[in-house]
Structure 1
């Protein structure tokens, strides 16, 4: 069962406005509705972009169907045959970097009290997009110090990091692609998320596959909410919203343990590529996608902001 929220005023911030303590957005329409949110330009130096994959680009362009709230976007370019950025032979495609948000927000994010966080963006796949077997999309990452950057590429988490990117699959089916500490409790709770969840032997969890579907040629608003567990308790939460609607909810999670009490949400792992690793994952033609209205918020730490489960 998916819980919904009351009183939301924008799909980028699909939680009660009273729960938003502070944050930022590159969306004028969202910023105008939330006075506690700072409106910023979509620029690397402003948004705390770092650890950029210098083999790819994320040029600032005017996307298709541009309007006042989609005037500029980061363009992801996928040449035919491109695949996972770890490959040594195929063309490089998509892009990859980490983003912590503006300096004042990043400072707040690093505090021990900032355990409840929301990050958001919009994505547009070109109108004739072909999905192939699947590919990665940006999501929240975190952990203890530099260990936060290590939960990708098939590495198994030891409790010091987590990575919560999204994926598209065949025919545009969406899912949460989660790296979390490998505990029996996390496995149980992740695999219980409908409509289909899978534990991969080396590459994380596919959570809620098919809970939503991407549509080429149309902007999709993605929001991810994470609540870190209290150390020693199984009370962490992950929630994914599509166009303002809650579509994936996992509760009873452990995102950090006593070996990583300094573990924090660090920001967005802003990465997109086709793959998988094998050739059958590669982009079947040259394609483009666009990302804009990047946002983040620190939420109040209270529980119980859900209404009764539907």
Structure 2
């Protein structure tokens, strides 16, 4: 169960270059965060893509007016609207930090990248020009 001030919004890579969101909020359906898959999208190898993730917190804390929007190469691919990230409006419920990391997730080798024959493979991603902005 989330705390009244607890929430998170993140992006996850999927198999074959896919992308999805993973959002924890006060009204989520289950124990784990809600996800939206960027249907029909796959990152292209050997090409930079421009990603933008916009997080708008709900205000006031009782409102369901928060959102997460994700654009890739200027195309809106993921939308979460009507979110109630926090149920208590305090400094602790504000955006506190940005954590940037990449990993293959999970708690077992099943999540590791593999070739079509099932053998393990090495994947590589390059990141450039990371920027955090605040718009009013």
User: Shorter-chain-normalised TM-score: which range?
Assistant: 0.7 to 0.9
Secondary structure of the residue that 1:268 maps to in structure 2? coil
| Larger proportion of helix | 1
Residues 39, 77 of structure 2: 8 Å contact kept = no
Name the structure 2 match of 1:207: 36
Structure 1 CA distance for aligned equivalents of residues 2 and 129 of structure 2: 30
| Per-residue deviation, residues 57-106 of structure 1 (Å, max 9, x unmatched) | xxxxxxxxxxxxxxxxxxxxxxxxxxxxxxxxxxxxxxxxxxxxxxxxxx
Residues 211, 248 of structure 1: 8 Å contact kept = no
Name the structure 2 match of 1:296: 132
Change (3 A) 1:175 1:267: same
Listed as ranges, the matches of 1:1-310 within 5 Å are 156-181=1-26, 183=27, 186-187=28-29, 202-210=31-39, 212-230=41-59, 231-258=61-88, 260-262=89-91, 263-283=93-113, 284-300=120-136
Please tell me the root mean square deviation across aligned C-alpha atoms, in Å.
1.9
Structure 1: which 5+ runs fail to align?
Answer: 1-155, 188-200, 301-310
The higher-RCO structure (CA 8 Å, 6+ apart) is 1
Residues 167, 177 of structure 1: 8 Å contact kept = yes
4+ runs deviating over 4 angstroms: none
Structure 1 CA distance for aligned equivalents of residues 73 and 121 of structure 2: 28
Structure having the higher Rg: 1
| Larger proportion of strand | 1
- Displacement, 1:228? 0.9
TM-score by length of 1: 0.38
Structure 2: which 5+ runs fail to align?
Answer: 114-119
Aligned length, in residue pairs:
128
| Per-residue deviation, residues 254-295 of structure 1 (Å, max 9, x unmatched) | 01112x432111232201101222222113223321111111
